[in-house]
Structure 1
Amino acid sequence: MFALCRFQKKKPVESIVAHESQQRPGSHESVAATTPASATSAEAGKQTKIKKVPWRNRLFGHPEKKETKEVEEGKESTCEPKPKATKTRWWRRLLTCCKRKHRVAPAATSDEEKEKKEEKKIRSSPAGNCHLDEVVAFSVAVEEFLQSTELPNLNPLTVQLLHAQFSSTKGSQVGVGDGVRGSTINHFGFPNLGQSCYINSSLQSLLTLEDFVSDVSRQDLVWSSFPEARLMRTFMAIRDARASTSAQSKVRLLRSFKEAVSAQAPEFRDHQQKDAHEFLTSVLDQMRSLSPLLQETAANMGTKYTCPVEDHLVFKMENTRTCSRCGAQSRRQEEFTNLSLDLVPGGSVEKMLEEYQKETALDYKCECGGSESSQKPAFETLPSVLILHIKRFRFTPSWQLVKVRDPVMLTRELVVSSKQGGSCYSLVSTVSHLGASGDKGHYICDGVHPDERPDTTTDRWLTFNDAAVSETTGVSVCRERQKSAYILFYKRQV
């Protein structure tokens, strides 16, 4: 029986449904709705081909489809269709991300948070120059890109980014002399090669010392022909390219300068953060070490060479030791390019100098048999530029490097006494360390504007934050850098 049913020819399901519908009263709409194509084809004199139903469907019926709307006993299903998920467009997601990124942070609740906020503010938007916001934002992006990339060789993408960093011409026009008048102050910045802010800030401070730089420049016939004087040549090349808009040339010169310093000081060869004071001291000591060879070279050329570091930055300190028993004294002189001062919380720079020159106890065995002595340092000579280093970093008993964040009163004028007489100095540059810890942070430089002269009262200064440069004043620097000032440059008044 099953075999006969299996092979018996069946009528199409559509024909059966239509036939049954025609036999029912009031089924006209159902017939019209079910077979509209048949009626149309009949009028056209054509027979529409009916889709053949598979045999398994004819034998076992049609399977239920989840997508169709179920109707049972004349009642509609109560299941509501799920709402279609709307996909957020890419530009809306980008806009939301930007808004979240630039959301204003809540007010800081401690000094450490305030300093972090100040560091972030200076990195992203230098204060006092709203025209440089776009340049600073791109500068920070380039800096983060370079810090996350090893730089054995610069690829084209890096060069392109650095070039765009200096392509903006926004900002106020200033004259800087020496054939670069009309350049924007933003062109004075140096790109960050990957945690090289300690190099940039040290170079900017040295370039602020016009007499020192001029003394190096006027003797170029001597050091330019000396192969070992690469440090001098790259330093002056950076001075000449300071106002250049070519980022590629600045990157090349900065790398060459770093390689020249690292040849004698390998600790500066990598791309890790270093101490700005140690780097500055190494640069000055290397320039001094070239003096004997350059003097010999100058003598062969029939001229003379005088070391700019010794003429402008070197000074002598005399230590006098006095025996507490017999009163015998001994004196010893020592040369310095800078003086490291212990930080006196809440004190001024002059107060720290007084503390440095105080008489202190010394364990020393005298010929008279006495074992107690005292020692007192004093200035034997004074330099044209006095560089003072504030000891803001110290080691804990567990040998952890921490930063001393106590404020120091920065004075614009400083009177220093020596055995040859006293002199009055004026603050011309500072190197500041931003950050709450000793193992990380960011160095910036504040210096007198190149157009500022001693007889003017405009008090124009510049803040050098790597490639971003903004205008400020000396009064503002002394007020805002009390907790971060690290190296001070004082120039002797004429």
Structure 2
Amino acid sequence: MKILQTVKRCLSVVNEDYEDDGEQDAHECVLLLLFQLKEEGMALKGSPEPYTCPVKQLEFKLKTFRTCTSCGVIVYGQEDYNHLSLNLSQDLTHSLDLYFKPSALECACRVCSGSMASVTRHFLTLPRVLMLHIKRFTAGNWEPEKVDDPISIPAELTLPAVCGATAPVQHGARASSMGKNNMDNTPANSPKGTLDRPGRTLCY
């Protein structure tokens, strides 16, 4: 309890909502905590003692492909993440597939002045621990409503369809995330920059 109170007190320094005992959004709390840890990690980077920020274990990159629907020109990009927020469905695998499903985006093409593009993304790098957030709140009439529908969580997820051909993984990558329990994992002696089995990177 003392540890939780200390964490709450530290969060209240950057967000006054945590000064009282009011209920706060769990997802926002985790993001704020990761932000604070990252800030402290940057401050300790120049210290004489070796230090590895724990948030680094969660960080990864996604590569994006934005294709103009008019002329077909492709614009590439990279984005930094420390978690993925997935829509709720009956199965975690399906929720993950939905996240990486091509989506339409309204944007101006620099080549042909087209107004629509198709966006796809995949893992450019893989984290040691992949944290998944399931969105369980929907917009109600007056306030957000929580959806209590169950979601099936397999013991092991494979990600070949959403990984780049050479997506590197951090050394000793654990196949785990926040959830009910820890299942199978990628052996700690896997060669650096490779996977024990292609796409076998995540368990819940």
TM over 0.5: yes
Match of 1:284 among 26, 34, 38: 34
Aligned position for 2:5: 255
Aligned-residue sequence identity (percent) comes to: 32
Kindly provide the amino acid, as one letter, of the partner of residue 114 in structure 2.
G
Instruction: Give the Cα–Cα distance (whole angstroms) in 2 for the partners of residues 394 and 382 of structure 1.
Output: 30
Instruction: Give the Cα–Cα distance (whole angstroms) in 1 for the partners of residues 182 and 133 of structure 2.
Output: 19
Aligned position for 1:315: 60
2:130 partner SS: strand
Q: CA deviation at 1:257?
A: 1.9
> Do the aligned residues in 2 keep the contact of 1:415 with 1:422 (CA within 8 Å)?
no
Is 2:121 the counterpart of 1:372? no
User: CA RMSD of the aligned region, Å?
Assistant: 2.8
Instruction: Give the Cα–Cα distance (whole angstroms) in 2 for the partners of residues 453 and 413 of structure 1.
Output: 9
Instruction: Give the Cα–Cα distance (whole angstroms) in 2 for the partners of residues 315 and 272 of structure 1.
Output: 33
Aligned position for 1:349: 92
Greater fraction strand: 2
Aligned position for 2:16: 266
Q: CA deviation at 1:447?
A: 4.0
Q: CA deviation at 1:428?
A: 5.9
1:377 partner SS: strand
> Do the aligned residues in 2 keep the contact of 1:413 with 1:425 (CA within 8 Å)?
no
Instruction: Give the Cα–Cα distance (whole angstroms) in 1 for the partners of residues 158 and 16 of structure 2.
Output: 38
Q: Deviations over 1:219-241 (max 9, x none)?
A: xxxxxxxxxxxxxxxxxxxxxxx
Match of 2:52 among 293, 306, 311: 306
Aligned position for 2:195: none
Instruction: Give the Cα–Cα distance (whole angstroms) in 1 for the partners of residues 11 and 68 of structure 2.
Output: 43
> Do the aligned residues in 2 keep the contact of 1:412 with 1:427 (CA within 8 Å)?
no
Q: How many residues align?
A: 183
Greater fraction helix: 1
Instruction: Give the Cα–Cα distance (whole angstroms) in 2 for the partners of residues 314 and 274 of structure 1.
Output: 24
Kindly provide the amino acid, as one letter, of the partner of residue 413 in structure 1.
E
1:385 partner SS: coil
Match of 1:392 among 136, 143, 162: 136
Report the TM-score when normalising by structure 2: 0.78
Report the TM-score when normalising by structure 1: 0.34
Q: CA deviation at 1:376?
A: 1.0
2:131 partner SS: strand
1:369 partner SS: coil
Q: Deviations over 1:188-241 (max 9, x none)?
A: xxxxxxxxxxxxxxxxxxxxxxxxxxxxxxxxxxxxxxxxxxxxxxxxxxxxxx
Instruction: Give the Cα–Cα distance (whole angstroms) in 1 for the partners of residues 52 and 82 of structure 2.
Output: 16
Deviant stretches of 4+, over 6 Å? 422-425, 452-455
Kindly provide the amino acid, as one letter, of the partner of residue 129 in structure 2.
V
Kindly provide the amino acid, as one letter, of the partner of residue 314 in structure 1.
E
Aligned position for 1:362: 105
1:99-110 alignment, distance < 5 Å: none
Instruction: Give the Cα–Cα distance (whole angstroms) in 2 for the partners of residues 385 and 414 of structure 1.
Output: 13
Q: CA deviation at 1:492?
A: 5.4
Unpaired segments ≥5 residues, structure 2: 188-200
Q: Deviations over 1:95-129 (max 9, x none)?
A: xxxxxxxxxxxxxxxxxxxxxxxxxxxxxxxxxxx
Q: CA deviation at 1:453?
A: 9.8
Instruction: Give the Cα–Cα distance (whole angstroms) in 1 for the partners of residues 128 and 94 of structure 2.
Output: 21
| Greater displacement, 380-389 / 402-411 | 402-411
1:402-441 alignment, distance < 5 Å: 402-417=145-160, 418-419=163-164, 420-421=166-167, 426-427=175-176, 429-430=178-179
> Do the aligned residues in 2 keep the contact of 1:323 with 1:370 (CA within 8 Å)?
yes
Kindly provide the amino acid, as one letter, of the partner of residue 123 in structure 2.
F
Q: Deviations over 1:277-311 (max 9, x none)?
A: 21111111111122222112x2xx2x54332211x
1:57-206 alignment, distance < 5 Å: none
- TM-aligned CA distance change 1:320 to 1:453, over 3 Å: closer
